[in-house]
Structure 1
Amino acid sequence: MSETTVQPTRKMTRPATVTLKHVAERAGVSPITVSRVINTPDAVSEPLRLKVGRAVEELGYLPNRVAGALASAESRVVPVIVPSLSNAVFIEVIQGVQDVLEVEGYQLLLGNTQYDLQREQDLAATLLGWSPAGVIIAGLRHSERTRAMLEAWRRPVVEIMEYGGHPIDMNVGLSHYKAGDSMAQHLIARGYREIGFIGGGLTTDYRAMQRFKGLDRSLARHGLPRRPPFTHEGPSSAQVGGDAFVRALETDPELDAIFFANDDLAVGALLRAQREGIAVPERVAIAGFNGFGIGELMQPPLTTIVSPRKQIGQLAATKLIARVQGRDDGTACVDVGFSLRIGGST
């Protein structure tokens, strides 16, 4: 029996970190030629584009856009820093931002602070190192270090979700105090007098706390009973809302209306009320905040404050791009307002 000799195949090696120099060596051209092919492909011949393209594909080379941005002090990246990715509110805001950025040829870079100001500070420091065109960041409350960084950075900054005084640069949002006051006015006009508030993580979700304060101040003006908010730690959900609703009624049987910090909690309360046989609004009225579509599908439909979330994202991105391009987009601060959607739950 004769032996078969198998010639070893030439194994294609790939550097741990692929650079433009490695691509040039694989293609048999100079690094400056590779740079020309990548950055101005129309200026080189098709055979050369194909040769360099094969080397790029074989090595898995990714052009270092960050280095280019740092060299030119320009970037087409815009970080968007939000406190949560599990909350549909911020998903709609992000979609609004992306709609505008994509049309203008910019890319969105996402950061999630989890309602932690120290985490926000760390994210800001990291993301600013990418030399972005500008930054969109949720809220007007930041650590002193974060605020100092963004002020010293001297590029466009848009603070979103709430409207108030002394923004770092630009501001697009709504007054959560006014939203809480508006809901209080509605409930009082309907004849409710024992009004409570349920929200989660109010020590960190300060915009929800602003809504409570707006409600509380309105109750004080009308000489009505005032209560501390019923609160819990952790993220909001329908399950949490249902449980908190039952506990609140057991703790304070006088309650005849409850304003929930968001629609997730309020929808959970409506579902739990149905299961427990608690009549809404005859026994207790239920109201929410955000204006999610699911509230309109509930029985009875949920009364809620509608916040224009996607519009906030679109306006913030539009103002940022206008500033980057040297155009004056009008006033630096925009109050997008809100609307009250009255359902059968109140």
Structure 2
Amino acid sequence: MKKPNSDPVPEIMRKSTLEDVARLAGVSKMTASRALRNAGDVSRANVIKVQAAAEQIGYVGNNLALSLSAQSTNLIGVVIPGLSNIVFAEVLSGIADAIDGTDLQSVFGVTDYDPEKEYQTILNMLSWRPAGLIVTGLDQPEKTRKLLEAADIPIVQIMDLDGDPVDAVVGLSHKKAGADMARALLDSGRRRFGYVGCRLHRDTRAAKRYAGFVEALAAQGHVLRCEALSEAPSTVHEGRRLTAEILETDPDLDCLYFSNDDVAMGGVFHCMARAISVPDQIMLAGFNGLDFVDSLPIKIATSRTDRRQIGRRAIGIISSGKGPKGVGSRMIDLPAFIDLGQ
């Protein structure tokens, strides 16, 4: 009687190997390997045969083993602060658009605006030897900057131009965006300003917009009359709560500047519930130009940004080749433009 463990493993249960692919395609193992990696020196006919064989037997390659021999993978690491804000989902959509049809593959990590979590995420991603790394913002702590500076791959920092980039950078000046909004609101006749914001201690880009806004007001002899700040994440609910708080403190405000459109939408709901006329009685201004702004029953001002284009251009830099690192060596400015909702 046969021993239970002496039966051969059924073919359907055995993991497919590169040797199986090569045998089925009628090529050498090396040719099969190069065809699957799009190495470029394999005939089109052999590539088609190898790919068909791999598909037929369900072969999955070992990219980690390939990276150990090639010193890199086809992975693009993407580090973003969160997924609850649609802004970063749109950046990822732009990245997905740009790598479609290439052999690149994006992987992303979420930091929750936590510098230590960002450091660990970048450290882990670099250990996988990616072909490039996309990191949100320019305000990483020194130990994180050292990781990025030492990485022998293209580094693209996105969403912000106000700072010292490690390598390439795609984004906009948030300080200028805040200043531009202040000047536009002053030109529209607004004079009694309040500010509503969330997590400025972590969201450095919102903090820069705040600074630019305040400085531009001061340059024309104006100040914020009051502000309502929260350590909570940016949400519609928090925006509504903070709007109620600030208008109770100073009901004569004729303009509220919000840290972003999500928070500003909460302001819209508060004003609708209290029958406060927008923009006649008070103007509400946000940032990002999110799609829902155009669907609101009342109009608000916003700074419109092209998040998908930021993602696409970041991939374009990585795809174009590594090139030398250095401040300003590759800088793409995609400025926001003001929409007063009128």
TM (norm. structure 1) is: 0.82
Deviations 1:78-125 (A, max 9, x none): 011111111111111111112112233211111111111111100001
Number of the residue aligned with 2:233: 235
CA–CA distance in structure 2, aligned partners of residues 284 and 13 of structure 1: 73
- How far has the Cα of 1:154 moved from its partner? 2.2
Number of the residue aligned with 2:41: none
Q: Secondary structure at the match of 2:109?
A: strand
Q: 1:323 aligns with which of 298, 313, 321?
A: 321
User: Which of the pair has more CA radius of gyration?
Assistant: 1
- How far has the Cα of 1:138 moved from its partner? 0.5
Change (3 A) 1:38 1:190: same
Contact map agreement 1:212 1:229 (CA 8 A) in 2: no
- How far has the Cα of 1:166 moved from its partner? 2.3
Number of the residue aligned with 1:293: 291
The letter of the residue matching 1:281 is P
Q: 1:274 aligns with which of 272, 275, 292?
A: 272
CA–CA distance in structure 2, aligned partners of residues 297 and 28 of structure 1: 59
Number of the residue aligned with 1:97: 95
Tell me if 1:258 matches 2:256. Answer: yes
Q: 2:302 aligns with which of 289, 304, 314?
A: 304
Number of the residue aligned with 1:339: 337
Q: 1:64 aligns with which of 35, 40, 62?
A: 62
CA–CA distance in structure 2, aligned partners of residues 130 and 13 of structure 1: 34
Number of the residue aligned with 1:190: 188
Change (3 A) 1:303 1:28: closer
The letter of the residue matching 2:179 is D
Number of the residue aligned with 1:120: 118
Q: Secondary structure at the match of 1:120?
A: helix
Deviations 1:241-288 (A, max 9, x none): 112111110123332210111111112211221111111123221111
Number of the residue aligned with 1:247: 245
Contact map agreement 1:133 1:324 (CA 8 A) in 2: no
Tell me if 1:80 matches 2:78. Answer: yes
Q: Which moved more, 1:34-43 or 1:288-297?
A: 34-43
Number of the residue aligned with 1:4: none
| Percentage identity across paired residues of the two chains | 32
Change (3 A) 1:240 1:12: farther
CA–CA distance in structure 2, aligned partners of residues 228 and 154 of structure 1: 47
The letter of the residue matching 1:91 is A
Q: Which moved more, 1:217-226 or 1:155-164?
A: 217-226
Change (3 A) 1:165 1:209: closer
Change (3 A) 1:36 1:283: same
Change (3 A) 1:13 1:149: farther
The letter of the residue matching 1:186 is A
Deviations 1:3-41 (A, max 9, x none): xxxxx9969589xx9795xx879x999xx9777656547
Q: Which moved more, 1:100-109 or 1:204-213?
A: 100-109
CA–CA distance in structure 1, aligned partners of residues 152 and 23 of structure 2: 43
CA–CA distance in structure 2, aligned partners of residues 19 and 168 of structure 1: 43
Number of the residue aligned with 2:171: 173
CA–CA distance in structure 1, aligned partners of residues 19 and 171 of structure 2: 50
- How far has the Cα of 1:227 moved from its partner? 4.9
- How far has the Cα of 1:180 moved from its partner? 0.7
Number of the residue aligned with 2:281: 283
- How far has the Cα of 1:181 moved from its partner? 0.6
Change (3 A) 1:75 1:212: same
- How far has the Cα of 1:202 moved from its partner? 0.9
- How far has the Cα of 1:62 moved from its partner? 3.8
Aligned length: 323
The letter of the residue matching 1:334 is I
The letter of the residue matching 1:300 is I
- How far has the Cα of 1:324 moved from its partner? 4.0
The letter of the residue matching 1:102 is D
Please provide the CA RMSD for this pair.
3.3
CA–CA distance in structure 2, aligned partners of residues 40 and 282 of structure 1: 65
TM (norm. structure 2) is: 0.83
CA–CA distance in structure 1, aligned partners of residues 89 and 145 of structure 2: 24
Change (3 A) 1:181 1:43: closer
Q: Secondary structure at the match of 1:110?
A: strand
Show structure 1 runs of 5+ residues with no match: 1-7
